[in-house]
């Protein structure tokens, strides 16, 4: 079964395009290819492209990567949420670091290894989906444009505006779905580092065996498959902002390594004995009670002090219901554009139904609820009976024997209970991470 995603491959070598098309068409629902990079902009006007796989050198004899970097900038200008992977036969650490700082999601060398390219694209597609969900929470744009008219959110915005220009480390607390990454983006955009990279890392999704290589990078030959130098996320965020999401899920050994880097402000790539200085502004986020984890011996107290110079507590949606009508209207318009249908009016009965729900999944849950209603409802008005919350959270519907419906509910419940940590949710369900990712894609979660 192919993943429902559109991949665009841009390369001036027709053989490369043929190889990519043959490899990827059995993995993704649509694979587009272009030899002329000037055609990408026109394609973006008519296609929703999930991942761009773009050569860095189009002109004959060029191997500096400048063309690819310019193209990367243009793609991100047209679509700030775009996920771009740059590829070249002339790879080096400096080009890779520069590409990632300027917004590339990853960097691959040609000729590629098929399994590695598929794995890289899998992560990239998941990143695109995550960025789309974050955008739906209020659009990751400058702070004044957020949907945040309620008193609790106005308080948050005032703190963000005071803290953003400083270099203080920030810890964002809040339940799942409250928009922690959106606030991290706002802090970055209003800081003196706004013209540099904001690099996000979901710490709960990084296996312990890959922690050092993913965050600190590695050198060629550091391990069996290390066929080139690769910068880590700290290096990619140099002079910018590093956002460490789900920091409460870090195992003890990872906490020690992270603390050492934050204190020394340098990393040692795997396979090297030469430290690399890093200059990052740190923002972390968690839905976990870190003080309780400290008391239980599951989180280092000195790491907590390091990351929470300033704390920002995001209110759950049930505590900011004054924002609900505007948020709901935003999601109605968003999904009307997404599904190319006429916008629909929210009736008073619908708004009453939405206000009465407890929203355990917060704004993310509201987004999904509006999307389902827009797809399934008839007419030009959303009414109360277009929303149903009775069986969606705590149990499966005993009256329903629909396998897919109950599977979707169980996956949603596991993700909620695991705080959207894929490893933990997969363990609860008794399946692998890869199997869970496939089901998440299948159900559009």
∠ Cα 159 415 175 (to 5°): 20
Edge-first strand listing for the sheet containing 170-173:
198-202, 241-245, 281-286, 170-173, 310-313
Q: Which residues pair with residue 363 across a beta bridge?
A: none
What does the pLDDT read at residue 399?
46
| Structure-derived torsion over alpha carbons of residues 306, 193, 205, 278, reported in degrees to the nearest 10 | -60
Q: Residue 9 gets which letter from DSSP?
A: E
CATH fold of 3-133, please? Rossmann fold (3.40.50)
What does the pLDDT read at residue 91?
54
- 212 in helix, strand or coil? helix
Q: Where are the beta strands (DSSP E) in 231-315?
A: 241-245, 266-267, 276-277, 281-286, 310-313
Query: If we measure between CA atoms, which residue out of 78, 25, 26, 82 comes closest to residue 54?
Result: 82
User: Element (H or E) spanning 307, and its range?
Assistant: helix 301-307
CA-based radius of gyration for the chain: 22
Residue count of the chain, please give it: 445
Q: Residue 113 gets which letter from DSSP?
A: P
Q: Which CATH architecture has domain 319-443?
A: Orthogonal Bundle (1.10)
Per-residue pLDDT 10s for the chain (445 aa) are 678 889 999 988 888 898 899 899 888 988 999 988 888 888 887 788 999 999 887 754 455 667 788 888 888 888 877 889 988 765 555 666 677 767 788 878 778 888 888 888 887 887 787 666 545 444 333 344 478 889 999 899 889 989 999 999 999 999 988 989 889 989 998 899 988 888 888 887 777 778 888 888 888 887 777 777 788 889 888 899 999 998 998 888 889 989 999 999 999 888 888 899 999 999 999 988 999 999 999 999 999 999 999 999 999 999 999 999 999 998 998 888 877 888 999 999 999 999 999 898 899 889 888 988 888 888 899 999 998 764 434 444 444 556 667 778 788 887 877 767 776 677 667 676 667 777 786 777 7
Q: Is the pTM of this model over 0.85?
A: no
DSSP string, 349-401: HHHHHHHHS--TTHHHHHHHHHHHHHHH--SSEE-GGG---TTSSSS--TT--
The residue assigned the tokens 């009453």 is 352
Q: Residue 251 gets which letter from DSSP?
A: -
∠ Cα 413 417 418 (to 5°): 115
Sequence spans of domains, the chain:
3-133, 137-315, 319-443
Cα–Cα distance, 438 to 2 (Å, whole number): 10
Give how far Cα 353 sits from Cα of 21, 117, 320, 381, 393, Å.
Answer: 48, 46, 15, 14, 16
Q: Please state whether the peptide bond connecting residue 64 to the residue before it is cis, i.e. omega within 30 degrees of 0.
A: no
Residue 227: phi, psi to the nearest 5? -90, 5
Strands 266-267 and 276-277: antiparallel
- 156 in helix, strand or coil? helix
Domain 137-315 has CATH 3.10.180.10: no
Q: Which residues contact 374 (CB under 8 A, 6 or more apart)?
A: 332, 335, 336, 339, 341, 344, 382
What does the pLDDT read at residue 404?
67
Neighbours of 349 (CB within 10 A): 15
Output b/e per residue, 78-95; b: 16+ Cβ within 10 A: eeeebbbbbbbeebebeb
Query: If we measure between CA atoms, which residue out of 371, 374, 368, 376 comes closest to residue 416?
Result: 368
Q: Which residues contact 153 (CB under 8 A, 6 or more apart)?
A: 146, 315, 320, 323
Cα–Cα distance, 131 to 124 (Å, whole number): 10
Give how far Cα 336 sits from Cα of 4, 132, 343, 395, Å.
Answer: 20, 15, 5, 31
Q: Which residues pair with residue 277 across a beta bridge?
A: 266
Residue 267: phi, psi to the nearest 5? -120, 155
180-189 and 151-163 helices cross at what angle (nearest 10)? 40
Q: Which residues contact 38 (CB under 8 A, 6 or more apart)?
A: none
């Amino acid at each position: 079964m192919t993943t429902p995603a559109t991949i665009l491959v841009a390369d001036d070598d027709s053989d490369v395009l043929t190889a990519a098309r043959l490899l990827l068409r059995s993995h993704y629902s649509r694979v587009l290819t272009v030899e002329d990079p000037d055609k990408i902009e026109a394609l973006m006007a008519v296609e929703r492209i999930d991942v761009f796989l773009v050569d860095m050198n189009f002109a004959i004899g060029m191997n500096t990567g400048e063309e690819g970097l310019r193209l990367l900038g243009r793609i991100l200008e047209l679509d700030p949420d775009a996920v771009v992977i740059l590829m070249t036969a002339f790879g080096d650490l400096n080009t890779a670091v520069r590409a990632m700082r300027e917004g590339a999601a990853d960097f691959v060398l040609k000729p590629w290894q098929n399994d590695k390219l598929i794995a890289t694209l899998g992560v990239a597609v998941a990143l695109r989906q995550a960025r789309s969900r974050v955008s739906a929470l209020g659009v990751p744009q400058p702070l004044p444009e957020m949907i945040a008219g309620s008193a609790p959110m106005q308080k948050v915005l005032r703190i963000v505006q005071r803290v953003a220009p400083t270099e203080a480390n920030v810890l964002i607390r809040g339940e799942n779905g409250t928009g922690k990454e959106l606030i991290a983006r706002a802090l970055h955009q209003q800081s003196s580092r706004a013209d540099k990279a904001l690099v996000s890392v979901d710490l709960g999704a990084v296996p312990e065996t890959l922690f050092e290589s993913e965050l600190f990078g590695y050198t060629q030959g550091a391990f069996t498959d290390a066929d080139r130098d690769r910068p880590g996320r700290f290096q990619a965020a140099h002079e910018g902002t590093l956002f460490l999401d789900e920091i409460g899920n870090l195992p003890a050994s990872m906490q020690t390594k992270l603390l050492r880097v934050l204190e020394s402000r340098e990393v040692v790539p795997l396979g090297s004995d030469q430290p690399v200085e890093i200059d990052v502004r740190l923002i972390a986020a968690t839905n976990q009670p870190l003080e309780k984890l400290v008391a239980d011996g599951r989180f280092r107290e000195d790491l907590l002090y390091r990351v929470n110079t300033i704390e920002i507590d995001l209110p759950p949606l049930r505590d900011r219901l004054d924002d609900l009508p505007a948020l709901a209207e935003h999601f109605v318009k968003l999904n009307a554009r997404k599904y190319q249908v006429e916008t629909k009016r929210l009736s008073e009965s619908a708004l009453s139904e939405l206000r009465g729900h407890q929203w355990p999944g917060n704004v993310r849950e509201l987004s999904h609820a509006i999307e389902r209603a827009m797809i399934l409802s008839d007419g030009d008005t959303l009414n109360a009976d277009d929303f149903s919350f009775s069986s969606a959270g705590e149990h499966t519907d005993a009256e329903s024997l629909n396998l897919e419906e109950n599977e979707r509910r169980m996956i949603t419940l596991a993700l909620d209970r695991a705080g959207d940590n894929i490893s933990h949710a997969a363990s609860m369900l008794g399946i692998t991470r890869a199997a869970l990712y496939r089901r998440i894609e299948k159900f559009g979660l």
